Chains A and B, each alone.
Chain A
Amino acid sequence: MTAAEDLLSRRRPAPRRFRPPSLPRPSPALAGGLAILAALLVLALVPGLVAPYAPAAFDYRAILKPPSFAHPFGTDNFGRDILSRTVWATRVDLQIALFGTLVPVVFGTLAGAVVGYYGGWVEALFGRVVDAVVTFPFLVLVIAIVAVLGPGLFNLYIAVSVVGWVFYARIVAAGVALQRRLDYAAAARVMGYSTPRIVLRHLLPNAVSAAIVYWMTDMALCILLGSSLGYLGLGAQPPTAEWGVLIADGKNYMNTAWWISIFPGVAIVLAGLGFSLLGDGLADLLRPKR
């Protein structure tokens, strides 16, 4: 093709074809995390889809049976089907992840926005609160609060929320403090927008992504915490099927009937992996592209 032909052929550009806006390609971490969590969500919403029996159904003819076709994960000392109990527990543990982090996310984000926007003595005061809160061994404090309020999931949520919001507030405060110094924030102020509008509509959306990433990790931590308390008898109360409670059920049978504890533990690991992969994937996705 000569230069002239090239010029000629360029004269009439091909009609532009409509292209749908391309979504960023999900990373393997994001895809894996989403897949695991989607599967767990289905189990939590419709446990009957996979669980062959009722979670609390006793069967005295099938006590401590190893995994078999009738009971793929075996049975416990009451003849309860471990697969069914593990599947039904998904609902409880995902609830723990959600309700244990809900108040911290919402309140912590708003508090962080206020701290980050005003700075000054508010920020200094908040810094001291952070210093103080991080020095409490988290698990010890939560256990102490639950010990005083009484065991159970609701008190667990209270205990976690009392402490948890601080971490979100710290992350968001740092982000908002950074954003408020940028030109667009000054522009919004010049436009005469109200402070709540500037903070909530302009600064927060640009500062919240790190908190969302932390939220995913936090949900994984919350499941670990909830199951640990369940194991110690301070979280979900038997006969509620919760992964930690299920593992505690089987701890005295580990030698003879390992399946009672092992399978719920695998479920915890899976859920933890799901949330941390999702967190890693989101962190990649939300990182500003250069």
Chain B
Amino acid sequence: MLSAGYVLRRVLQMVPTLVFILVVTFVLVRLLPGDPLSAIGGDHVTDAQVAQARAAYGLDQPLFAQFLLYVRRVVTGDLGRSIVVQVPVWSLVGERLPPTMLLSGMAVAIGVGLAVPLAFASALRRGRATDLAIRAGAQVGLSMPVFYIGLVLLTVFSAHLRWFPVGGYGDGWGDRVYHLFLPALTLGVSLAAVLMRSLRAAIVDVLGAEYVDFARAKGLPTRVILLRHVLRNALISTLALLGPTVGSLLGGAVITESVFAIPGVGRLMIESIYGRDYPVIQGLTLSLAVTVSLAFLVTDLIQASLDPRVAR
């Protein structure tokens, strides 16, 4: 069980992280050459308008006061407005979130579905041809850029074989899953390569543990030993990858969504960059970073509840 003390400590640990995220996203827009407002407004504004807006945004105040203003805005749920489509950033992100979440979920399912059997096959036949082939495959998977995997899958399965649509999101759940299958496979393949390596190492580790020898001595069938003892314990150590995985999935989504034209947050990021929509870039970076830090929190809490040694 989780102790309240550990949970509290872990949640408090997030405070500096959140402050850091706020600082970085604040500084990000400050890096723009010139005044953020002139960059935001473009060439079509008069000096009087700039001065007025400057006062409205608090840009005439010292930097630290501006930062506090920014923090207050974010905390009250105001991420600013998009310059291009004139909609609050918050609603824009919310609107684009479901495709990315579905895509990430499917990618994790495919990634785990590929990694677990492959890791077992590899670990149980350690040093033999199967093991070498699987590990070589994982190595190639790790070296292959996501957009390249996507492009190849798109050409083979959509353009040539016409099994899947060339992109887009679709209507209704079944259609959406169908539309997102190839993109999820793209992300899932590169995720599987990472997971497979860590899981294989964990399985090899667990196989040498005394409790596995004991289970064998008790006469438990191999299948039970592998599922109940080996897989379970190996998964716990691989669970530590959950936080980083969410981070790399969101990064991968930026690329996959542009390859497959999926209207998710990743594509929104790229569109905002091309459109120089800085409030959206800022708001998105902030929300994605907060999402990942929450994933790290959840990872730690799950790990601590499964393995009490972590909580110490």
Contacts and interface: CB of A to CB of B under 8 A. Distances in A.
B159 A231 contact: no
A228 B266 CA distance: 14
Nearest to A243: B145
Given A265-B148, A268-B144, A268-B148, A136 B21 contact: yes
A140 B269 contact: yes
Interface in A82-138: 128-129, 131-138
Interface residues of B, number: 50
B154 A148 contact: no
Contact of B292 (A135, A145, A265): A135
Contacts of B258: 232
A141 interface: yes
Nearest to B190: A224
Contacts of A271: 143
B139 A131 contact: no
Contact of B251 (A128, A137, A251): A137
Interface residues of A, number: 43
Contacts of A265: 144-145, 148, 151-152
B289 to A, nearest CB: 5
Contacts of A276: 139, 142-143
Contacts of B50: none
A144 to B, nearest CB: 5
A190 B243 CA distance: 44
B244 interface: yes
B189 interface: no
A210 B147 CA distance: 30
Given A144-B28, A149-B31, A137 B289 contact: yes
Interface in B295-311: 296
Interface stretch (A43-51, A172-180, A195-203, A253-261): A253-261
**At the interface, is chain B mostly helix, strand, loop or mixed?**
helix
B161 to A, nearest CB: 12
B247 interface: yes
A140 B254 contact: yes
A137 B29 contact: no
A254 B154 contact: yes
A215 B145 CA distance: 19
A135 B296 contact: yes
A265 B153 CA distance: 13
A37 interface: no
Given A148-B29, A258-B155, A272 B278 contact: no
Given A268-B148, A271-B143, 13 more contacts: A132-B16, A134-B244, A137-B246, A137-B248, A139-B252, A140-B254, A144-B285, A147-B272, A224-B145, A228-B146, A228-B147, A232-B255, A269-B144
18 contacts: A128-B13, A128-B16, A128-B20, A131-B13, A132-B16, A135-B292, A136-B247, A137-B247, A137-B248, A139-B252, A140-B269, A144-B284, A144-B285, A148-B31, A224-B143, A231-B145, A269-B140, A269-B144
Interface of B: 13, 16-17, 20-21, 24, 28-29, 31-32, 139-140, 142-148, 151-152, 154-155, 159-160, 243-244, 246-248, 250-252, 254-255, 258, 269-270, 272-273, 278, 281-282, 284-285, 288-289, 292-293, 296
